[in-house]
């Protein structure tokens, strides 16, 4: 079994989430905050300001006039899209590399993260499930951050993991835990703790595979799990662990969702995928 301390020490190799991004997320979850407050935070980060304006002025949004200030950008885009852009800008560097041990080429982990976050947004809007939309979007986007570090250790132990999955019925996540001593959920939660995310966000990341039965009763965690499931049903950048994934049908029942509802989400996601890909290319 791998020395867990060696794995945890690797967290320092990640580019941290800028404090301004964490603060913007905090404000977005506060019903008493304003767009002006969020704009004031963005303008104090030159790199983030430049990227928001660059993306805002791209053909992807098609505004009739040039957007020259962050305050204009926040007004035109609104809270939801500004939060999305800030998070995409802050996380893309860490998730854009390849993860060969998970069967993911360059950019595929990032692609899966963005698609998962997009699916969560559609699922919540289409089915009226009460949830904190900024929280679940962020959780879906960052849930697999542990793979960025754990991938190297999975590569060293892949044969043992593969045997447990193929011959003993383990999920890939369970096999990681058994062979390495830690899975990407646990490592992701440690990263989220290091970056001072909220306790609820840490909880979702730690439980997004719903291995802990109690997590299946948590709406936000269940939504993130279902978003992952939808991505797998679509065959979108799921990697080898997607082939050994636990399906909990009771989660659909608890949330009053059906497989037909999932198919509706898949159809809606497919229709907006081209536009989403163009945004990915900008970040």
Mapping DSSP to helix (H, G, I), strand (E, B) and coil, where does residue 17 land?
coil
The domain tally of the chain equals 1
Tell me the residue range of the domain where 84 lies: 8-282
Predicted confidence pLDDT, tens digits, the chain (283 residues): 678 999 999 999 998 887 788 788 888 877 788 888 888 888 888 888 888 888 888 877 778 788 889 989 888 888 888 888 888 888 888 888 888 888 888 888 888 888 888 888 888 776 666 567 788 888 998 999 999 999 999 999 999 999 999 999 998 889 999 999 999 999 999 999 998 888 999 999 999 999 888 999 999 999 999 998 888 888 776 677 766 678 888 888 888 888 888 888 888 887 777 666 665 655 5
User: For residue 90, which of 38, 146, 51 has the smallest C-alpha distance?
Assistant: 51
Structural domain contains residue 13: yes
Structural domain contains residue 47: yes
Measure Cα distances from 84 to 80, 189, 248 in Å.
6, 21, 29
Structural domain contains residue 3: no
Structural domain contains residue 72: yes
Mapping DSSP to helix (H, G, I), strand (E, B) and coil, where does residue 173 land?
helix
Structural domain contains residue 80: yes
- Whether residue 244 contacts residue 171, with contact meaning beta carbons closer than 8 Å, is answered with yes
Structural domain contains residue 71: yes
CATH number of the structural domain spanning residue 104: 1.10.3210.10
Structural domain contains residue 244: yes
């Amino acid at each position: 079994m791998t020395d867990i301390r060696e794995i945890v020490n690797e967290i320092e190799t990640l580019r941290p989430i800028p404090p301004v991004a964490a603060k913007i997320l905090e404000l977005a979850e506060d019903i008493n905050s304003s767009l002006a407050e969020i704009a004031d935070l963005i303008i104090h980060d030159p790199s983030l300001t430049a990227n928001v304006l660059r993306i805002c002025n791209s053909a992807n949004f098609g505004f009739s006039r040039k957007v020259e200030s962050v305050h204009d950008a926040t007004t035109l885009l609104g809270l939801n899209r500004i939060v999305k852009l800030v998070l995409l800008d802050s996380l893309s560097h860490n998730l854009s590399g390849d993860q060969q041990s998970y069967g993911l080429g360059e950019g595929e982990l990032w692609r899966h993260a963005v698609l998962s976050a997009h699916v969560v947004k559609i699922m919540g809007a289409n089915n009226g499930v009460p949830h904190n939309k900024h929280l679940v979007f962020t959780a879906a986007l960052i849930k697999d951050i542990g793979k960025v570090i754990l991938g190297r250790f999975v590569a060293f132990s892949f044969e043992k993991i593969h045997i447990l999955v193929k011959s003993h019925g383990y999920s890939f996540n369970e096999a990681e835990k058994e062979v390495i001593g830690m899975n990407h959920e646990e490592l992701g939660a440690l990263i989220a703790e290091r970056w001072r995310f909220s306790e609820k966000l840490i909880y979702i990341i730690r439980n997004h595979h719903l291995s802990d039965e109690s997590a299946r009763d948590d709406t936000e965690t269940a939504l993130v799990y279902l978003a992952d499931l939808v991505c797998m049903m679509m065959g979108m950048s799921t990697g080898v662990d997607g082939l050994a994934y636990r399906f909990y049908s009771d989660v659909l029942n608890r949330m009053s969702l059906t497989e037909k509802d999932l198919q509706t989400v898949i159809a809606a996601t497919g229709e907006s995928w081209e536009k989403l890909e163009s945004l990915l290319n900008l970040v």
